[in-house]
Structure 1
């Protein structure tokens, strides 16, 4: 792995990203618009929005980055770009780290916009710092990037890449505790939720929403989220194919 090559890869991906207006809109504008819609849906009970809106500030980056990166990497393979790049000194890990860093930067901008809209315009109120919530949103985005890059290796078309959304993301949304408390689920569902990274991402956000400082649970949850992201990047580098036949 080379820092110089990783940095160059990151810069290339960022240049490609800013020229794709639809992707920019998906990353930067859609989360804020969805939060606005959610706020009006829950207009009669702002306290519910404080709980759900806080969690969605972290969930939206995970979903959007998962979708964008899985499709983007598949395009690199199907278009032959990846095969050409890997004939150079570029290492697979350089490529995946470049993707991770580039989309982490995009996630930082996304989190800043969404948090500003939520706190300044929609009246979101939490015990924890908005800056900490923004940092968790970026961590969740990195997790989405890493998982998306890893799973893209198993897709042969953009349609198949999108199909991973209901197969991988939706079960985590259902079991993470956002819709129903985990301790009130059937025992086997609680066990399943404990191996899903989004469970820890949601728990970390809930901790920030209820506490003014960093708690032990928050540190553990953050370590799990970042650990799974790192593992997914390593597995992605090991399974990444030069092209899709």
Structure 2
């Protein structure tokens, strides 16, 4: 059963398979609220690509990547109408009747699709979330029953958004590549590399202190670009051993330096 369907019934407690709140994951109560908004530096993509301010903004980006591996990206160039339409279409998808969404369910032996991953053992804990996960690039990797078959209005805006993110990602990788003294030809591996997308819905929970929207993790990718579609904050980053809640600015994209790029940067400096 999906979490969205689960909460349609009166719940007084969370089912045991969702109880997943490690003690060391609680945000540090001694961290002042003011520092939350500064936990992730804000970087302007427009300034990164503007001749007069490129160097200064690039230095700020490099510093942010070394310090915490996250930035809030503003002035990224995505049309606000695209973001607004994307939000409406994704929300519309999760409002569809269950039987409609189950057309895209995760299939046995796979991880792509709608719903929660299939439990591999009885002790495994589930995230308090429903999601659609799919590989979107290269085109040959797309599952024929996922993106190609999504409702047409959602599919259309996702195609626009995917291209926008590819352009932003390559721009950022180019800037970071120059800082790391990586040859442009060495970055070409990312140009038609694997890109995946995860659309996640976090339903209300009767015992939110006992669950995780998404289990603590690091991303194995080169970079991850996160678009928070509403004003409900929940993102936390681990900085200097402390979990810090982050207030995401409206229309900002959160960029996370993934394990792959971190490993590349370490190898280059051995």
Whether these two folds match at TM > 0.5 is no
Structure showing the higher strand proportion among its residues: 2
Tell me the TM-score range normalised by the shorter chain.
0.3 to 0.5
| Largest Rg, 1 or 2 | 2
What TM-score, normalized by structure 2, do the two folds share?
0.31
What TM-score, normalized by structure 1, do the two folds share?
0.33
Structure showing the higher helix proportion among its residues: 1
